[in-house]
A and B are shown apart, each in its own frame.
Chain A
Amino acid sequence: MGICYQGKTLAEVVDQRDTSFKESGYAYGLKELSLLDEDPAKFMRFQMRLVASCINARETAKLISANPMSIIQGELLFMLANAEGDVISTSYGLAGHIQCMPYIIKSIAELNFEDDPGINPGDIFSVNDALYGPAHNADCYTFLPIYHENELVGWTVGLNHIVDVGGIQPGGLGTISPSVFTDGFTYPPTKTGHNFKQEKWWDLHWKRRTRTEMFNVLDDKMRAAGIVSLHHMIQEVIEEFGVDYYRQAMKEIIERERRLMINRLKTMAVPGHYNWLQFKSVDYKDNLGRLWPASNRNWILHKPAELTVRTDGTLFTDMEGLTSEGEFHCNAYPSAVRMLTSLGIWPMFAYTETLNTALQYMTDWNLPPGSMFNPQNPWAATVMGLAEVGAVAYHYLRCLSYAYFSRGFLEETYPQDGAGCGYGVQGMLGDGFQWAGGDMALITCWGQGGKAFADGFEAAWCGPNPEPDQGEVELSEFLQPTQLNIGRNMITDFCGHGKYRSGLEIGMMQMINQPGQALIIATFSGTSGMGGAALGMCGGYPRSNDVIIYAHDTNIREVIDQGGHYPRDFVEMRQMIDDGTLKVGNMELFNCPTPSIPCGDGDLFASTSGSMGGWGDALERDYGLIEKDVKYGWISPECAKTVYGTVTDDSGKVDSQASDALREQMRNRRKERSVDAKEWWKQERQVVIDKKWHEDMHAMFVDNCKYEKFRNEFMGMWQLPEEYTF
């Protein structure tokens, strides 16, 4: 006798859900939405009760946390799933996480948790092991079964991103890890509580296996409190509507929203193939030495995504050609792909009544087995795979922007790219107190990419996080007293240029303040010197690189003591070094994730996400817009001239006649220095024949050509003989 409806086991209802969709094409085989059709108002009231309950649980529970990422940056979510694991409703927060729950429930069904350890009313389960569904081990899921009499009718779930996972590097987003054994504290699905309370022994794991015991224990209590509170609220909803209504309506919500999303795509898009591409390097060579020989190399990550808008209104993404799995931190499982990439869907068409897993019934993927997004090695490291998957989320924004543009819905174009700098810190204060922390400040405050009809907004947007603020500096400094924020600034000229430019990026400047005995900072980044995106939009320039600078042994304290200006971002720092007011002993510049860098008192730490891309040809930018750009200091007169072909004075006033002539001259220059495509092809073909490329690129092409689709394209484009080998 199983615990689900009509005595079925959990494994049976999960299997039935999958089979009925496969056979009928409707979620749960629902050709008719009887409850919705009979009384839409009641249906809406039911749905809104679920949403309100989730939000209520979140806003109450988060007060238990001490983690700035939960309290002020929004990576915290409470959700309601049905027995099969589909998330029906969720709170505010980083909504992509709902996509993992079907995988998690499927995992515990396959592991037969129903028999051992048992799934009883009041039992609390926890998991952060990516093999079983979560995206990576910083994302901790805590969930509780909802029973009505003897029937499992759902799950309440709490999720948040913790500060430190106990990996090689401090923080939750380490960028060095050869295997799951170096990822940090990773726990498969585990029963960690009963009678609506976590076990005491569970706290000890947070205390012993991570660096931030206080944050992590409180976060765990927050998740547990939220799911218990949500559980009780859902019991009231069941009481009010009746269990039969509840059970059926949960399924109808999924099918209704699946239809709604398909309809939206058919209204705004154009069917066809659309392509997206990104490269990134992983630089382990000479860093990991003889300890991890398989990791003592570099990789160029190749991430091609072909999105097909199918005639039936569903979406299919083919990633054939994707880099193979490796002994690096970049692997991710298909559940993580679903989770992260859904963040690219919410703004494009999935803004429905409630955020739910209906997406999984209208999006498909080809993630080749053995690739980095479908690793076959169960020990694959996944601690930061989400950064690589996260970038792929933006294939939806880019490709669908073209699809909407072609259909005439320019106002819906929203081409963005993955970005974000953040850091983990670990230290020992002067009195021997050991501590750790992390901040994702620049993940949550990006300049928007240029759109088909207007510039992107400055510091206005965040892909992975729906709360696009910078957090609260005061709270961050209270928790990380060594990281004194001395500046934030929008950087002149730091945008993707185009007819419509992207919003300016914000620079952050911190001064290291009395670190005591030791302090290390490890920064993660969305780029590696190859830019954030390989393709621009309609002739706009694509996203540039993140900038991370550690300046050691500076005289900043003297500058401050003398009442001088201090730098607000890395550009001002460079200018102050050039004019001699700031002295720096040693400076390290990265466009990529950094190792753990020791820092001392008075060091400066600057980071900035690379600018997003522009839209269209920069030489077609309206003079009126450039006038404003220069007037407000967003674009320098020099940049206006060299990039936009526009002559202005320092106040921004445009000399139209001189500008027209300059633009004509610049178009002539394009003519002079370009060659026709056939000639270019000949030259490029010779590069391929001679293999005149960087050794890391060579390794990338060897790997890519293992896939028939890429090999055919590569061989066909360059017309290489069959015997061509690498």
Chain B
Amino acid sequence: MERDDRFSKDNLKRLVEGTLHWEEVKKAIRLSPKDSDRFWKYLEVLQERVPWNDKILLRISDHLYIVAKEGGGRVTKCDCGHEFGDYRINWKLGCQVYVRKTNEEIGEVVTIPEARHNTELVQMREFYCPGCYALLGVEVVPAGYPPVFEMLPDLDSFYGEWLGQPLPDESPDWFQDKTLEKPAEWVRG
């Protein structure tokens, strides 16, 4: 694909690092149409930032990526290298979990006492990467509420239909939520 330098890779790198000057950010916001090769530049920037070689297919949060494994398969992987397994299973089920249940525990992170949550009704769940202990997700939900799968991308449609670069292992099965397989496995012991 031809390079579209109206928004350069260097600027994108700075945007990812949070150091791009606001005036430059505004230019990016105003860019119309957007730079056509943004996604490919993004993948380059991201791949250069991680200490491993698995091919990044998509970034799904600050630390998490869906990567293609050399021997086949697509897994969720943290930039620290920890792998969460099949990306179709909610990665929260591969985390370390801490639940804030009391006013004091919630008060550690909701720093205005009057604005704290009602702990009779909700708890605050924190999901950490077991590799680096980065905080990956926070939920404020009632006890017993199923953990929320925040994002399941349709990777094959994205690469094949939108980008015109189909993935070699495309299959309709990739866009299926497989989360419930994990508790089914756990209950079997």
Contact = CB atoms under 8 A, between A and B. Distances in A.
Interface of A: 266-268, 270-275, 277, 279, 281, 300, 309, 311, 402, 405-412, 452-454, 491, 493-494, 497, 499-500, 528-531, 533-536, 538-542, 544-547, 549, 570-571, 574, 589, 591, 608, 610-611, 615-620, 622, 639, 642-643, 667-668, 670-671, 673-678, 680-682, 684, 687-688, 692-694, 696-697, 700-701, 713-714, 716-719
A539 B62 contact: yes
* Max chain B C-beta neighbours (<10 A), residue from A277, A674, A681, A714: A674
B1 interface: no
Contact of A544 (B110, B121, B146, B158): B110
A642 B63 CA distance: 23
Given A406-B153, A544-B112, A673 B136 contact: no
Secondary structure of the A contact surface, majority rule: mixed
B154 A311 contact: yes
List 4 A-B pairs, minimum CB-CB distance, nearest first.
A408-B42, A529-B118, A536-B138, A272-B153
20 contacts: A270-B158, A271-B162, A272-B151, A274-B150, A279-B142, A311-B154, A406-B153, A407-B39, A493-B112, A535-B140, A535-B148, A541-B109, A544-B112, A544-B115, A549-B114, A680-B99, A682-B186, A687-B143, A696-B121, A719-B184
B178 to A, nearest CB: 11
Interface string B97-129: 111000000001111101111101110001110
Contact of B144 (A453, A591, A693): A693
Contacts of B50: none
Nearest to A667: B133
A422 B130 CA distance: 44
B121 A697 contact: yes
B60 interface: yes
A697 to B, nearest CB: 5
A673 B98 contact: yes
Contacts of B15: 410-411, 453
Secondary structure of the B contact surface, majority rule: mixed
Contacts of A611: 112, 115
B52 interface: no
Interface stretch (B26-34, B69-77, B165-173): B26-34
B143 A275 contact: no
A703 to B, nearest CB: 13
Contacts of B28: 411
A499 B43 CA distance: 22
B42 A500 contact: no
Interface in B82-97: 92-97
Contacts of A540: 138
Nearest to B175: A272
Contacts of B96: 670-671, 674-677
B135 A670 contact: yes
A407 B38 contact: yes
Contact of B121 (A268, A530, A535, A677): A530
Contacts of A617: 62-63, 134-136
Contacts of A701: 144
Given A274-B151, A497-B111, A677-B96, A268 B16 contact: no
B42 A542 contact: no
A406 B38 CA distance: 11
Given A617-B134, A670-B133, A671-B96, A570 B151 contact: no
B25 A411 contact: yes
Contact of A545 (B115, B138, B184): B115
A542 B138 CA distance: 7
A622 B18 contact: yes
B146 A718 contact: yes
B183 interface: yes
B152 A642 contact: no
Given A408-B12, A545-B115, A547-B114, A539 B175 contact: no
Given A639-B111, A678-B186, 4 more contacts: A271-B154, A272-B153, A408-B41, A453-B18
Contact of B97 (A412, A534, A680): A680
Contacts of A714: 146
A677 B94 contact: yes
A637 to B, nearest CB: 12
A405 B153 CA distance: 12
B137 interface: yes
Contacts of A407: 38-39, 42
A494 B110 CA distance: 8
Contact of A406 (B58, B117, B138): B58
B138 A541 contact: yes
B126 A529 contact: no
Contact of A713 (B59, B117, B122, B146): B146
Contacts of B94: 677
Nearest to B137: A539
A677 B95 contact: yes
B8 to A, nearest CB: 13
* Max chain A C-beta neighbours (<10 A), residue from B20, B28, B162: B162
A394 to B, nearest CB: 14
Contacts of B60: 402, 406
A717 B140 CA distance: 18
Nearest to B113: A574
A675 B95 CA distance: 9
B183 A539 contact: no
A268 to B, nearest CB: 6
A528 B118 CA distance: 8
A620 B184 CA distance: 35
Contacts of A692: 143
A371 to B, nearest CB: 18
B112 A491 contact: yes
B33 A411 contact: no
Contacts of A678: 186
Contacts of A570: 114
A667 B117 CA distance: 24
A616 B127 CA distance: 12
A591 B157 CA distance: 44
Contacts of B142: 279, 300, 693-694, 697, 700
A311 B18 contact: no
Given A408-B39, A719-B187, A529 B151 contact: no
Interface in B37-72: 38-39, 41-43, 58-63
A386 to B, nearest CB: 23
